[in-house]
Structure 1
Amino acid sequence: MIVRLALRAVGDLTLTLGAVLLLFVVWQGWWTDVQANAKSDELLIEARAEFIAPPADDAATEVRDTEPTEVVEPPATSYAINDPIAVIYLPTIGQERVVKEGTDRDVLNQGVLGHYPGTGAPGQVGNFALAGHRTTYGRPLWDLAEMKAGDPIVVETAAGYHVYSFEKLEVVEPSRWEVLAPVPGAPEAEASRASMVLTACHPKFSAAERLVGYAVLDRSVPRSQGAPPELLADDRTEDS
């Protein structure tokens, strides 16, 4: 009798633990996506409104009206953790996300991509290095492995648009920090071109390795010239 009661208690406990685990999986795999995607949408609206806001003074207006021929960005060192610094468009995998400074969980769990502090600025010589979740919290890089050579990546800032061309994918160990170097993979080299890396955990639902996507800058477009065709082709119609 005692054994039977003990077995029943163990069975009840197992069912309870199973239910708790199932609820955790649902929360981790679904509810975090709901929350992060809602936050991401809110941040996109705020960032776009800030990008197209009129200049604060007449002097800035004069500069804006001169139809600049280049896109000038602030140095990467001017960003503070959690600052929104850009919006990134990955048309191939259907993603539009704010880029914020920092790669801590507090940043990435907002459904954004995080800029590695100390790496390059958008569109500038060096390595504009980003991280994002591949699973949970909006999973912005869920389909990173589907990107192909030549796919466009557009980075929008207050100054304009930077159009990158995707080059390749690579799976590396988490300790391979040289992919964040000014010349990705070559920490001793001096950068002479603008590049980008996108990093995410690999495989899905694991942090055993890192999936790295590499891209290089194709061109920059001042905001005064309007959105590049890579965005217009994606039915983007804002002032954009």
Structure 2
Amino acid sequence: MVRVRVVRHSGLRRRALRRRALWSGGEVLVTVGVVLLLLVVHQVWWTNREARAGAEREVRALERAWDGEGDGDGDSRTAVAAPTPSPTSTPAYNGPPGQSAGNPRRSAAPAPEPDWSRAYAILTIPRLHLRVPVAEGVSKSRVLNKGYVGHYPGTQQPGQAGNFALAGHRNTHGEPFRYINRLAPEDTVQVETRSATYTYAVDKTLPQTTAHDGSVLRPVPRSTVRPGHGYTDPGYYLTLTTCTPEYTSKYRLVVWAKLVSMRPR
């Protein structure tokens, strides 16, 4: 006697539904993966490409404006520059050789206050092959996400006694400060303005501190979170700050440099 296997339709339907659910779930996962991949490509590659291109255009525009200023062909950008140092707030001189301690105004030429988010200087770090514009303020949308380096409001300007403090992205949006951890003592950092070029020499690095360690931006920069890192004497300082570790914003990496020379344009 031959036995006939009876297949229940309800079982077939359940298996079909399971296969359909698995297929649909796989399609959803693939779609999500593609979207995430596109977001990563946009954040890591496209924002760098756009920001770097924009920063390079701004550097060229500043150079044209400064070069044209002498023959009367400069544009409105020539009015954006670092302000005059204030002699009433000048600490003990520790600046470029050959300049007078009794005449701190020689460290920068008279100029109006820079406009917010407008580039008014160029930062050059030869060791990193870096040349980017410096703008007033540290707003992400108006400054940092453009691939610029931002000047901390309330800190000094290039060549002034005190602390000229800057911030820049380490990852994405041009990432100008991606490799500042590679800077070593005596590496040079140049800041060009309409009136002069200031050269700083890297002196110290604070590998990691909290995001709220604002004392590293003081006129005499010194970490209160990491005692022993920073300075105790007044001088002419440059501070570079960025996020660390890479692809996070939990901590801050700080590089300090001292002014060693000033050359009028």
Give the TM-score of the pair, scaled to structure 2: 0.74
Q: Structure 2 CA distance, aligned partners of 1:7 and 1:190?
A: 66
Cα RMSD (Å): 2.1
SS at match of 2:261: strand
Q: Structure 1 CA distance, aligned partners of 2:177 and 2:108?
A: 28
1:39 aligns with 54
Q: Structure 2 CA distance, aligned partners of 1:200 and 1:10?
A: 41
Amino acid corresponding to residue 213 of structure 1 in structure 2: V
Once the two structures are TM-superposed, the CA of residue 53 in structure 1 deviates from its matched residue by 2.6
1:141 maps to 2:177:
yes
2:146 aligns with 110
* % identical equivalent positions: 34
Q: Structure 1 CA distance, aligned partners of 2:49 and 2:220?
A: 36
Q: List per-residue Cα deviations over 1:110-148 (Å, max 9, x = no partner).
A: 111000111100011011000001111111111111100
1:100 maps to 2:135:
yes
1:181–1:74 distance in 2 versus 1, CA, 3 Å:
farther
Q: Structure 1 CA distance, aligned partners of 2:113 and 2:232?
A: 21
Decide whether the 8 Å contact of 1:37 with 1:111 is kept in 2.
yes
1:80 maps to 2:115:
yes
Q: Which runs of 5+ in 2 are unaligned?
A: 1-15, 73-98, 100-105, 225-230
Amino acid corresponding to residue 246 of structure 2 in structure 1: K
2:253 aligns with 211
1:51 maps to 2:98:
no
Once the two structures are TM-superposed, the CA of residue 190 in structure 1 deviates from its matched residue by 9.1
Decide whether the 8 Å contact of 2:213 with 2:223 is kept in 1.
no
2:240 aligns with 198
Decide whether the 8 Å contact of 2:108 with 2:158 is kept in 1.
no
Q: Structure 2 CA distance, aligned partners of 1:72 and 1:132?
A: 24
Q: Structure 1 CA distance, aligned partners of 2:118 and 2:134?
A: 8
Q: Structure 1 CA distance, aligned partners of 2:17 and 2:144?
A: 51
Q: List per-residue Cα deviations over 1:64-105 (Å, max 9, x = no partner).
A: xxxxx8442457x92221121210110011100110001111
* Residue of structure 1 aligned with 2:263, choices 207, 218, 221: 221
Aligned residues: 210
Once the two structures are TM-superposed, the CA of residue 194 in structure 1 deviates from its matched residue by 1.0
2:87 aligns with none
Q: Structure 2 CA distance, aligned partners of 1:186 and 1:201?
A: 16
Q: Which runs of 5+ in 1 are unaligned?
A: 58-68, 224-240
SS at match of 2:260: strand
* Residue of structure 1 aligned with 2:216, choices 168, 179, 182: 179
1:191–1:128 distance in 2 versus 1, CA, 3 Å:
farther
Q: Structure 1 CA distance, aligned partners of 2:22 and 2:110?
A: 66
Decide whether the 8 Å contact of 1:155 with 1:163 is kept in 2.
yes
1:42–1:153 distance in 2 versus 1, CA, 3 Å:
same
1:89 maps to 2:118:
no
* Residue of structure 1 aligned with 2:163, choices 114, 127, 144: 127
1:25–1:165 distance in 2 versus 1, CA, 3 Å:
same
Q: Which of structures 1 and 2 has the bigger CA Rg? A: 2
1:13 maps to 2:49:
no
Decide whether the 8 Å contact of 2:240 with 2:254 is kept in 1.
yes
Amino acid corresponding to residue 200 of structure 1 in structure 2: T
